[in-house]
A and B are shown apart, each in its own frame.
Chain A
Amino acid sequence: MTGRFARFALILGLLAAPSFAQIDVAAWATWMEPQGDRLSSDPADPTAISEIAWDAETGFGFSANFHMGRALSVELAAYAVGADAALVAPGGPQFDLGALDLTPVTATLQWHFARGARIDPYVGVGGAWILAEDLSSADLDALGIGDVEVDDEFTWLINAGLDFSVTSSLGIVLDGKYFPFEPATRAAGDPIDTDLAVDPLLLSVGLRWRF
Chain B
Amino acid sequence: MRRIFGFVFLALFVIVTSAPAATVDLPGMRFPGTVDRDAQGIARISAWTRHDVFFLQGWVHAQDRLFQMDFTRKAASGTLAELVGDAGLGNDVQARAIGLRRAAEASWLAISPRAREAIAAYAAGVNAGIGSVTALPPEYGALELTRVDPWTPIDTVVIAKAIAFSLSFDLDDIDRTIALLTYMAAGNVLGFDGTRLFFEDLFTSRPFNPASTVPDASGAGAKPGLIEIPSPLVDVERRFSQMSPAVLPLLLEYRESVSKTALFGNLGIEEMRAGSNEWAIAGRHTSSGRSLMANDPHLALSTPSTFYPIALRAPNLNVIGMGFPGTPFVILGQNERIAWGATRNPMDVTDVYVEQLVLDPTAPAGLSTRSNGETDWLLPILQTFRKNNPGDGTMDNIVVVPPGGPIPQAALIVPRKNAPIIALDVAAGTAISVQYTGLWGTREIESFLVWNEARNLEDFQRGLEMFDFGSQNWSYVDVDGNIAYFTSGEMPLREDLQDNRVEGAPPYLIRDGSGGNDWIRLTNPPAGQAIPYEILPANEMPHLINPPAGWFVNANNDPAGTTLDGNPLNQVRPGGGIFYLSPGYDGYRAGRITQMIRDRLAGGGKISFADMQAMQADTVMIDAEFFMPIILGAHANAGGAGAHPALAALGSSPAVSAAVARLAAWDLSTPTGIPEGYDASDVGGVRADPSQAEIATSVAATIYSVWRGQILRNTVDGVMDAGGLPKPDGEVALAALKQLFEFFPLRGGMGASGINFFNVPDVQDPAARRDIIVLKSLADSLALLASPEFAPAFGGSTDLDDYRWGKLHRIVFAHSIIPQFSIPSAAIGWPAPLAGLPGIPTDGGFGVVDASSHSPRAAGLNSFMFGSGPVRRFVAEGGSGTLRTHTSLPGGTSGIPGSPFYFNLLPMWLTNESFEQQLQSGPTLPWGAR
| Those of A16-55 within 8 Å (CB) of chain B | 39, 42, 44-45, 47-50, 53, 55
Tell me whether B31 and A142 are in contact (CB under 8 A). yes
Tell me whether A44 and B928 are in contact (CB under 8 A). yes
Tell me whether B48 and A148 are in contact (CB under 8 A). no
CA distance A179 to B921 in the complex (A): 37
Tell me whether B32 and A145 are in contact (CB under 8 A). no
Q: Does B1 contact A (CB under 8 A)?
A: yes
Q: Does A112 contact B (CB under 8 A)?
A: no
Chain B residues in 8 Å Cβ range of A96: 2-3
| Those of B874-930 within 8 Å (CB) of chain A | 921-930
Chain B residues in 8 Å Cβ range of A55: 1
Q: Does A69 contact B (CB under 8 A)?
A: no
Q: Does A94 contact B (CB under 8 A)?
A: yes
Q: Which of A89, A144, A187 contacts B923 (CB 8 A)?
A: A89
Chain B residues in 8 Å Cβ range of A144: 49-50, 315-316, 929-930
Tell me whether B927 and A187 are in contact (CB under 8 A). yes
Q: Which of A47, A53, A143, A187 contacts B48 (CB 8 A)?
A: A143
Q: Which of A47, A87, A89, A142 contacts B49 (CB 8 A)?
A: A142
**Chain B residue with minimal CB distance to A96?**
B2
CA distance A89 to B46 in the complex (A): 13
Q: From residue B735, how far is it (CB to closest CB) to chain A in Å? A: 53
| Those of B1-33 within 8 Å (CB) of chain A | 1-3, 8, 30-32
Interface centre among A86, A93, A185, A192 (most CB of B within 10 A): A93
Chain A residues in 8 Å Cβ range of B1: 53, 55, 86, 94
Tell me whether A47 and B923 are in contact (CB under 8 A). yes
Q: Which of B3, B31, B921, B930 contacts A47 (CB 8 A)?
A: B921
**Chain A residue with minimal CB distance to B923?**
A49
Interface centre among B921, B925, B926, B927 (most CB of A within 10 A): B927
Contacts known (A47-B923, A93-B3); A190 close to B928, Cβ less than 8 A = yes
**Chain B residue with minimal CB distance to A51?**
B923
Tell me whether B927 and A47 are in contact (CB under 8 A). no
Q: Does A92 contact B (CB under 8 A)?
A: yes
Q: Does A90 contact B (CB under 8 A)?
A: yes
Chain B residues in 8 Å Cβ range of A156: none
Q: From residue A73, how far is it (CB to closest CB) to chain B in Å? A: 41
Q: Does A209 contact B (CB under 8 A)?
A: no
Contacts known (A143-B48, A144-B49, A144-B50); A49 close to B925, Cβ less than 8 A = yes
Q: Which of A42, A49, A92 contacts B32 (CB 8 A)?
A: A92
Q: Does B769 contact A (CB under 8 A)?
A: no
Q: Which of B2, B8, B32, B929 contacts A143 (CB 8 A)?
A: B929
Q: Is the interface of B mostly helix, strand, loop or mixed?
A: loop
Q: Does A194 contact B (CB under 8 A)?
A: yes
**Chain B residue with minimal CB distance to A196?**
B926
**Chain A residue with minimal CB distance to B927?**
A187
CA distance A72 to B579 in the complex (A): 91
CA distance A45 to B925 in the complex (A): 9
Contacts known (A93-B3, A94-B1, A143-B49); A194 close to B923, Cβ less than 8 A = no
Chain B residues in 8 Å Cβ range of A49: 923-926
CA distance A86 to B925 in the complex (A): 12
Chain B residues in 8 Å Cβ range of A44: 928
Q: Which of A53, A87, A94, A192 contacts B925 (CB 8 A)?
A: A87
CA distance A194 to B49 in the complex (A): 20
Chain B residues in 8 Å Cβ range of A53: 1
**Chain B residue with minimal CB distance to A90?**
B923
Chain B residues in 8 Å Cβ range of A87: 925-926
Q: Does B807 contact A (CB under 8 A)?
A: no
CA distance A96 to B928 in the complex (A): 17
Q: Does B51 contact A (CB under 8 A)?
A: yes
| Those of A167-201 within 8 Å (CB) of chain B | 185-187, 190, 192, 194
Tell me whether A186 and B927 are in contact (CB under 8 A). yes
**Chain A residue with minimal CB distance to B3?**
A93
Contacts known (A92-B32, A144-B315); A194 close to B48, Cβ less than 8 A = no
| Those of B48-96 within 8 Å (CB) of chain A | 48-51
CA distance A142 to B32 in the complex (A): 13
Tell me whether A190 and B32 are in contact (CB under 8 A). no
Chain B residues in 8 Å Cβ range of A145: 925-930
CA distance A103 to B8 in the complex (A): 36
CA distance A109 to B923 in the complex (A): 44
Q: Does A8 contact B (CB under 8 A)?
A: no
Q: Does A95 contact B (CB under 8 A)?
A: yes
Q: From residue B599, how far is it (CB to closest CB) to chain A in Å? A: 45
Tell me whether B31 and A194 are in contact (CB under 8 A). no
Q: From residue B339, how far is it (CB to closest CB) to chain A in Å? A: 21
Q: From residue B658, how far is it (CB to closest CB) to chain A in Å? A: 67
Q: From residue A136, how far is it (CB to closest CB) to chain B in Å? A: 12
Q: From residue B335, how far is it (CB to closest CB) to chain A in Å? A: 15
Tell me whether A47 and B926 are in contact (CB under 8 A). no
Q: Which of A39, A48, A93, A187 contacts B31 (CB 8 A)?
A: A93
Chain B residues in 8 Å Cβ range of A42: 926-928
Tell me whether B927 and A194 are in contact (CB under 8 A). yes
Q: From residue B315, how far is it (CB to closest CB) to chain A in Å? A: 6
Chain A residues in 8 Å Cβ range of B30: 142
Contacts known (A53-B1, A144-B50); A194 close to B32, Cβ less than 8 A = no
Tell me whether A48 and B922 are in contact (CB under 8 A). no
Report B424-447 CB contacts with A as 1/0, cut-off 8 Å. 000000000000000000000000
**Chain B residue with minimal CB distance to A192?**
B928
Q: From residue A63, how far is it (CB to closest CB) to chain B in Å? A: 33
CA distance A18 to B31 in the complex (A): 55
Chain A residues in 8 Å Cβ range of B316: 144
Interface centre among A39, A148, A186, A187 (most CB of B within 10 A): A187
CA distance A144 to B922 in the complex (A): 18
Q: From residue A1, how far is it (CB to closest CB) to chain B in Å? A: 22
Q: From residue A43, how far is it (CB to closest CB) to chain B in Å? A: 11
Q: From residue A37, how far is it (CB to closest CB) to chain B in Å? A: 14
Report B726-745 CB contacts with A as 1/0, cut-off 8 Å. 00000000000000000000
CA distance A37 to B48 in the complex (A): 21
Interface centre among B48, B51, B922 (most CB of A within 10 A): B48
Report B305-318 CB contacts with A as 1/0, cut-off 8 Å. 00000000001100
Tell me whether B927 and A95 are in contact (CB under 8 A). no
Chain A residues in 8 Å Cβ range of B926: 39, 42, 45, 48-50, 87, 145, 194
Q: From residue B205, how far is it (CB to closest CB) to chain A in Å? A: 50
**Chain A residue with minimal CB distance to B316?**
A144
Chain B residues in 8 Å Cβ range of A45: 924, 926, 928
Q: From residue A9, how far is it (CB to closest CB) to chain B in Å? A: 32
CA distance A142 to B51 in the complex (A): 9
Chain A residues in 8 Å Cβ range of B930: 144-145
**Chain A residue with minimal CB distance to B30?**
A142
Chain B residues in 8 Å Cβ range of A95: 31, 48, 925
**Chain B residue with minimal CB distance to A193?**
B927
Interface centre among B8, B921, B924, B926 (most CB of A within 10 A): B926
Interface centre among A48, A86, A90, A96 (most CB of B within 10 A): A48
CA distance A49 to B922 in the complex (A): 9
**Chain A residue with minimal CB distance to B31?**
A93
CA distance A48 to B922 in the complex (A): 9
Tell me whether B925 and A143 are in contact (CB under 8 A). yes
CA distance A190 to B927 in the complex (A): 8
| Those of B351-400 within 8 Å (CB) of chain A | none
Chain B residues in 8 Å Cβ range of A48: 923-926
CA distance A143 to B923 in the complex (A): 14
Of the A-B pairs whose beta carbons lie under 8 Å apart in the complex, a sample of 29, sorted by A's number, is A42-B927, A42-B928, A45-B924, A47-B924, A49-B924, A49-B925, A53-B1, A86-B2, A90-B923, A93-B3, A93-B8, A93-B48, A94-B1, A95-B31, A95-B48, A139-B31, A142-B30, A143-B31, A143-B49, A143-B315, A143-B929, A144-B50, A144-B929, A144-B930, A145-B928, A145-B930, A187-B927, A190-B928, A194-B927
- Given A144-B49, A144-B929, 8 more A-B residue pairs with CB atoms under 8 Å apart are A42-B926, A42-B928, A48-B924, A48-B926, A49-B924, A93-B32, A93-B48, A187-B927
Top 3 A-B pairs, shortest CB-CB distance:
A144-B930, A187-B927, A48-B926
